[in-house]
Amino acid sequence: MIRTATPQIELRNLHRVFDQTHAVNNVSFEVYAGEVVGYIGPNGAGKTTSMRILATLDEPTAGDAYVDGFSVVEDPDRVRRRLGFMPDYFGTYQNVNVYEYLDFFARSYGLKGRERISAIGEVMEFTQLRALAEKPINGLSKGMKQRLCLGRTMIHNPSVLVLDEPAAGLDPRARIELREMISKLADAGKAILVSSHILTELAEMCDRVAIIEQGRLLAVGSVAEISAGVQVQSTVHVRVLEGAERLQNWLAARDGVSELRTDGTLAVFDYAGDRAAEASLLRAMVESGLPVIEFGAKHKSLEDVFLHVTEGRVQ
């Protein structure tokens, strides 16, 4: 991904206080065009509050947020034209079918005539809802309702999408299909901020993640960058053709090696080093004459990083 000079989403020293609760506490990060950033944290961490402020549904107590350079406080109307917000829950309406639902939101954004008809058609094509155009909303499956909500979110072709728990309650196939749609939208140049409790999903679709707990931003970056910053270790396994005792002694004397376990000619250990350090470790083994026949590393997942960075605190 080629990062543009100006972020499409920017949270700048954002605060939101409810009575005695500091729901969002001095949060700052950016999302750029063509980028998917995952927003993760425990329930009550401040994710939805931040997103509602971006969507101009709430106002910050202090600080500001910007969409395409426009302040949510000073220019909310311009922000709404450029942003599509998909909430974690959206209502359905009695006796309204898929086409009528999209048509209602297209009209709400001021789309008229052929422009409105074209927008509805493009959205139904993208979300694969064209065959269900006349189906009542109440008769849709959970997955189809999520597609419809995504379609409503992008009906006015916004440059920024804010998606709050879009995969909640979906079956595996529906989650995969939703992930593919989000990736296509990012490839089209849209800046996307997405929250989810399904961390494996975020790890596969996101360029970066922002981790929040008790309203405070704890880390921002790729999983690899955050892992390096907090020294999250990888698990390495090495097998030699012979000389298991020598391998064990050699590893025990190396910096960064811990929790060393051996089983015959196999050694498994935690290693506090990045991929370059792992390559250097393997080279040093070979140069020392150890007959290495297997070498592999299992790097920490987003779930591992999340558990390492957060403390499980709630407010």
Task: Please write the tens of the pLDDT for every residue from 224-256.
Answer: 777 665 555 688 999 999 999 999 999 999 988
Alpha carbons 62 and 12: distance in angstroms, whole number: 9
Which of 11-25, 192-206, 235-249, 293-307 shows the lowest mean pLDDT across its residues?
293-307
Whole-number mean pLDDT of the chain? 88
Using DSSP's 3-state secondary structure scheme, residue 93 falls into coil
Per-residue exposure over 218-237, b if at least 16 CB sit within 10 Å of its own CB, e if not = bbbbebeebbeeeebbbebe
pLDDT band at 168 (very low <50, low <70, confident <90, very high): confident
Which DSSP symbol is given to 136?
Answer: B
- The whole-number pLDDT of residue 3 equals 57
pLDDT, mean of residues 93-100: 90
CB-based contacts of 101, cutoff 8 Å, min separation 6: 93, 137, 148, 152
Antiparallel, parallel or unpaired: β 208-213 and 36-40 = parallel
The separation between CA 214 and the C-alpha centre of its own chain, rounded to angstroms, equals 18
pLDDT, mean of residues 59-63: 96
pLDDT, mean of residues 13-21: 93
- The whole-number pLDDT of residue 302 equals 63
Say if residue 98's pLDDT is above 90. Answer: yes
Residue 14 bridge partners (DSSP): 27
Alpha carbons 26 and 262: distance in angstroms, whole number: 47
Helix 142-153 / helix 98-108 crossing angle, nearest 10 deg: 20
- The whole-number pLDDT of residue 230 equals 58
More confident position, 172 or 16: 16
- The whole-number pLDDT of residue 222 equals 82
- The whole-number pLDDT of residue 308 equals 61
- The whole-number pLDDT of residue 279 equals 92
Q: Domains in the chain, please, with CATH?
A: 9-226 (3.40.50.300), 233-299 (3.30.70.100)
pLDDT, mean of residues 12-19: 94
Tokens representing 109 are 């954004």
More confident position, 170 or 16: 16
From the list 176, 101, 182, the residue with the least C-alpha distance to 139 is: 101
pLDDT, mean of residues 290-302: 83
More confident position, 118 or 141: 118
Residue indicated by tokens 């311009």: 78
- The whole-number pLDDT of residue 176 equals 87
pLDDT in tens, 185-221: 999 999 999 997 767 777 778 899 898 888 999 888 8
pLDDT in tens, 260-279: 999 999 999 988 877 888 89
From the list 170, 156, 177, 183, the residue with the least C-alpha distance to 38 is: 183
Q: What are phi and psi of 74, to 5 degrees?
A: -90, -30
- The whole-number pLDDT of residue 223 equals 73
Say if residue 307's pLDDT is above 70. Answer: no
- The whole-number pLDDT of residue 156 equals 96
Say if residue 295's pLDDT is above 90. Answer: yes
pLDDT band at 313 (very low <50, low <70, confident <90, very high): low
Sheet holding 62-67, edge to edge: 21-31, 9-18, 62-67, 70-71
pLDDT band at 40 (very low <50, low <70, confident <90, very high): confident
Handedness of CA 285, 290, 293, 299 (dihedral sign): negative
pLDDT band at 41 (very low <50, low <70, confident <90, very high): confident
